[in-house]
Amino acid sequence: MTKEILETAIIDLPQTFDLDDLFQRLIFIEQVEEGLKDIEEGNTIPLDEVKKIIDGWQR
């Protein structure tokens, strides 16, 4: 995460907020960044495999 992303996350918050709100927002941003990095690196599961996994849950 960069300072710029942190600044944007803080600027987008309302004038008063709970620290939990800020932490949740930062965790969300970090998880999205990790997901995008995984996509770039090819660390994904093909849709067909995901469908098979989900079908197994429904039984």
Which string of DSSP letters, residue by residue, matches 9-54? Answer: HHHTS-SS--HHHHHHHHHHHHHHHHHHHHHHHT----HHHHHHHH
- What is the reported pLDDT for 58? 83
Q: What is the pLDDT of residue 27?
A: 96
Q: What's residue 59's pLDDT? A: 67
Q: What is the mean pLDDT of residues 1-18?
A: 92
> What does the pLDDT look like over 11-40, one tens digit per residue?
989 999 999 999 999 999 999 999 999 999
pTM for the complete prediction?
0.70
Domain count along the chain: 1
- Give the structural domain span for 37: 3-57
pLDDT at 16: 94
- Spatial CB neighbours of 29, under 8 Å, sequence gap ≥ 6: 1, 5, 9
